[in-house]
Amino acid sequence: MRFGRQGQCGPAGSGVGAVPAPAYNRRMAPPRPPPAIPGPPPPGVAPRGRGATFNPANRFESTVREAFDDGWDTPVGDPSAPGGAPAPKTVVRVQQARSIISRNDSPDIPFTQSVNPYQGCEHGCIYCYARPSHAYLGLSPGIDFETRLFAKPDAAALLRRELAAPGYRCEPIALGANTDPYQPIERQWRITRQVIETLAACEHPFTITTKGALIERDLDLLAPLAAKNLVRVFVSIGTLDRELARRLDPRAPAPPRRLELVALLAAAGVPVGVNVAPVIPQLTDADLERILEAAAAAGARHAGWTMLRLPREVAPLFRAWLDVHHPARAAHVMSLVRDVRGGRDNDPRFGDRMRGEGPYAELIRRRFAVASRRLGLAGELPPLDRSCFRPPTAATATPAPGSTQLPLF
C-alpha cells in the first residue's frame, strides 16, 4: 500500500487521493483511480525517443493531480532506470471531424486555408507551436501530444464535399500548417496521399510543409502537379547538428536526410524551399548560413525563417527540456528568448510573433537577408495557378460522415 502526502491512501505514482480510500486487504484489488497527470520529472530524466520531458497539466481541467515516484514502480534491473523513463508507446485513435478545411485571416500567415490529416505529431519536436491545441482534446500538450495521436480517415471525403460546395472559392490549401502530414503514422494510414489525390483530381493548388521522408512516396503525384504550377513544398531544417536534432526532433529525419529530400524534390521538378525554423538563440542560430548554403546547393528555390515561439504550455516544456539536455546554457538561452519577446517567454502579437524584436532579432533578420540574396533564395515566389480548378462532381462529392466525435479514451 502507498500513501499520499496527506497520509491518504492513493494509487501508485499518484501521490494524492481526493478522499480516503476504503479499507481493503491484500486479497482485494484497490479501487481504480482516474489517470494521473504526471508532473515534471527529476533533473536529468527524460523518456527515450520523445521530445517532451513531462506532461503539463491541462489548462481546462478543474482539478490537478501531482505525481511522485515512490520507487515501487521501477522494476529491479530495469535498463531504462539509470538513463531515463521508459518511452511511452504511440496510440492512434480515429477522429470523425465535421469539416476538414480550416480557415484563418492572420496577417502574418501566407495562406488562408489549410488541411490537417492528423492531430498531434509523433515527430515530437519540443518547440512545436501546435502543442497547446492538444488541451482542447482533454489531453496534455506534453508527452500526450506526441504519443496520443488522432487520425482523420474521412479527410478526403470531407474535402470533396467542401470543394463541391456552391460558394467555395479556390485558394491554395496548406498541408502541414499545424502538424506534419508526413509524420510516421502516415505510412499506415495514407490519409495525406488520399487528400493529395483529391486535390489532384480537381487540379486544386496546394502547398506542403514537412520534415518527413515519406513525401518521396508521393512524387508520382507531386511531379505532374508541379508541371502545372499546382504545388510547392517547403522542408523545415532548424539545425545541421545531428545530435542536437536528435534531441530537438527525436522522431523526425536527420538533417542530412532532409537535405536529400530537397534534392530529390528539385530533381523531380517540384518547386522546393527551405524553412530555417525555428531559430533558437545560442542553440541553432550558428547554423543559419550553412543551412541556406546546403539547401541552395541541393536545389532549393526559396527560403524562410521563424524565431522560436513558446506559446502557452510550450514555454515550460522548453525550459524543462533545456534543464535536461543543456543545463549550462539554459539561463542564457531563455534570457535571449525573453529579449526578443519584450521581456516575456512569448509575444503573440501579429507581425512580431514570427520574427521577434530587439537587437538580437534584427541581427538574425540581417544575416538571413544577406545570405538568402547571395544564394538566390530571396524574393517572392510566383503564385500557384488557380484557374484550372474544377469542383468535384456530384458523383465524387461523398456525403459527410457522422459528425459525432468518437470518445477520446
CATH of the domain at 330: 3.20.20.70
pTM assigned to the model: 0.82
Reduced DSSP (H G I as helix, E B as strand, rest coil) percent helix, strand, coil of the chain, to 5: 30, 10, 55
Same domain, yes or no, for 250 and 333? Answer: yes
Q: What residues make up the domain containing 12?
A: 1-34
Give yes or no: residues 332 and 226 share one domain. Answer: yes
Question: Which of these, 215, 253, 256, lies nearest to 234 by C-alpha position?
Answer: 215
* Nearest by Cα to 210 from 218, 202, 201, 221: 218
One domain for residues 125 and 30: no
Nine-digit cell string for 364: 538574425
Q: Are residues 268 and 176 in the same domain?
A: yes
pLDDT tens for the chain, residues 1 to 409: 444 443 334 333 333 344 444 444 444 444 444 444 444 554 446 788 899 988 888 888 777 666 666 666 555 444 444 445 567 899 999 999 999 999 998 888 889 999 999 999 999 999 999 999 999 999 999 999 999 999 999 999 999 999 999 999 999 999 988 899 999 999 999 999 999 999 999 999 999 999 999 999 999 999 999 999 999 999 999 999 999 999 999 999 999 999 999 999 999 999 999 999 999 999 999 999 999 999 999 999 999 999 999 999 999 999 999 999 999 999 999 999 999 999 999 998 888 888 999 999 999 999 999 999 999 999 888 999 999 999 998 555 544 444 333 333 3
User: Is 27 in the same domain as 102?
Assistant: no
Q: Beta partners for 236?
A: 275
* Rounded Cα gap, residues 44 and 49, in angstroms: 14
Q: Which residues of 173-190 are buried (b: 16+ CB within 10 A; e: fewer)?
A: bbbbbbbbbbbbbbeebb
Residue 386 inside a domain? The answer is: no
Specify whether 29 is located in the same domain as 139: no
Domains identified in the chain, total number? 2
> What is the dihedral sign for C-alpha 277, 272, 367, 362?
negative
In a domain, 46, yes or no: no
Helical segments of 165-254, H only: 186-189, 191-202, 219-227, 242-248
